[in-house]
Amino acid sequence: MKTLGIGMVGARYGAQMHLTNFTNLPAGAVEIRGVCSRSKESAEAFARDAKVAFVTDDFDALLARKDIDVVDLCVPPAKHHEFAIRAANAGKHIIMEKPLTGYFGEPGDPEPIGLKVPRAKMREGARRNAEAVREAVQRAGVKFCYAENWVYAPPIDKMRRLIAASQGSILELRAEENHSGSNSVFSRDWKNTGGGALLRMGVHSVGACLHLKQWEGQQRLGRGIRPTAVVADVADLVHSDAAVRARTAGANQWISANPIDVENWANLVIHFEDGARANVIVNDTGLGGLNTRVTAFMTDGVIKANMTSNDAIETYAPDAAVFSNEYFTEKLETKAGWNRPSVDEDWFRGFAQEIQDFVGAIRENREPRSGIDLAVDCVEVIYAGYQAAEEGRRVGLV
């Protein structure tokens, strides 16, 4: 089989994560043949590490290269749908980081849009963006690989096998994620990210829950079990009276989330057509390193998946400097005291497996486990959640 030519778009955190996992594929599977970022300096720094000759700040120049089969979009969410459509029109396969898209404002919108634009309008806009990508991908006949790593994480993979082995039904899924704030400067305002913690982080939890009910339905009924409605609440805890009181007392120095017009806490309940519920709870204000878990409460058992801190290895150090530069886990504040470093974060969180599946899907002309339909559903469920939270009611899904 021929070597796939990859064009990286974006050159920071997300792109580095993908690069590591492309690099670990068997020799000859892929070759990174170009890097594009907003600034040439950033693309050049990335290209030096990745040993790539072609560097540009012009996405069209990357698309024009005949030796690039796949573009890997690791750019801020506001660019996702536009870049995906341009890539599909150029006949390139697409790997895209989450979320597929959102609502990023329209001419005439009052600013900041996260505080001023009604969520019903946002939901319509986000749906239009999402459907436009699906339409472009289907028309061009290219593969769309949605980088929802939770769907590939070994604990969720085992959960799938346990669900398939059981005859039971999932009555409740409970999915959670928290950490102390995003790395990206773009995450502070709605016009760049399309939402706050519910979209940026909750999209993983929502993706896993939708995927698992889909999977359960395929096992039991020969078709997926669809979400039908949502209720939700969202909040800006960083600017709450409680946080201000702690800041005044000097007891609030570790949370790095600094939002302009996005939420940093959310609780979303998804109703499914078989009466089951999924409960998604996320925050950008949770110290202690990244926490990501999914629990399935079934009629005949319980399955708990933990993709981050677990006791495969535990450390103790009286001083944070003891373990020097050895990596522990994402967004951990300190290596002092007792800790649970991840033994292999890329593997445990599914980054290695998603890249492997995407490359396999494109080379073998099959659908990836995480594709365009899951990506579109996540946007629809989350924006319905925003509308439900604003309007204080249950919102039906189409």
- Segment interacting with ligand NAP (CB under 6 A) among 116-124, 180-188, 206-214, 369-377: 180-188
DSSP labels for 276-308? -EEEEEEES---SS-EEEEEEEETTEEEEEESS
Query: Cα separation of 266 and 335, whole Å?
Result: 28
State the residue for tokens 């028309």.
139
Check residue 74 for interaction with ligand NAP (CB under 6 A).
Answer: yes
Q: Pick from 3, 86, 174, 186 the residue near ligand NAP by CB under 6 A.
A: 186
Cα→Cα distances 134→130, 144, 160, 193, 275, Å = 6, 9, 26, 20, 28
Task: Please choose, out of 73-81, 85-93, 161-169, 226-234, the segment that lies near ligand NAP by the rule CB under 6 A.
Answer: 73-81
CA distances from 92 to 62, 136, 263 (A): 10, 11, 35
Q: Do residues 178 and 286 lie in contact, with contact meaning Cβ atoms separated by under 8 Å?
A: yes
How is residue 180 annotated by DSSP?
A: S
Amino acid at 190: W
State which of positions 21-40 bind ligand NAP (CB under 6 A). Answer: 36-39
Site map 106..145 versus ligand NAP, x via CB under 6 A: ----------------------------------------
Cβ proximity to ligand NAP: between 149 and 178 the closer is: 149
- 7 touches ligand NAP (CB under 6 A): no
Closest residue to ligand NAP using C-beta atoms: 14
Shortest distance, CB of residue 317 to ligand NAP, whole angstroms? Answer: 27
- Distance in angstroms (rounded) separating the CA atoms of residues 396 and 327: 44
299 touches ligand NAP by CB under 6 A: no
Query: Which of residues 24, 169, 184, 334 is near ligand NAP by CB under 6 A?
Result: 184
Q: Would you tell me which residues interact with ligand NAP (CB under 6 A)? A: 9-15, 36-39, 42, 59, 74-77, 79, 97-98, 147, 149, 183-184, 186
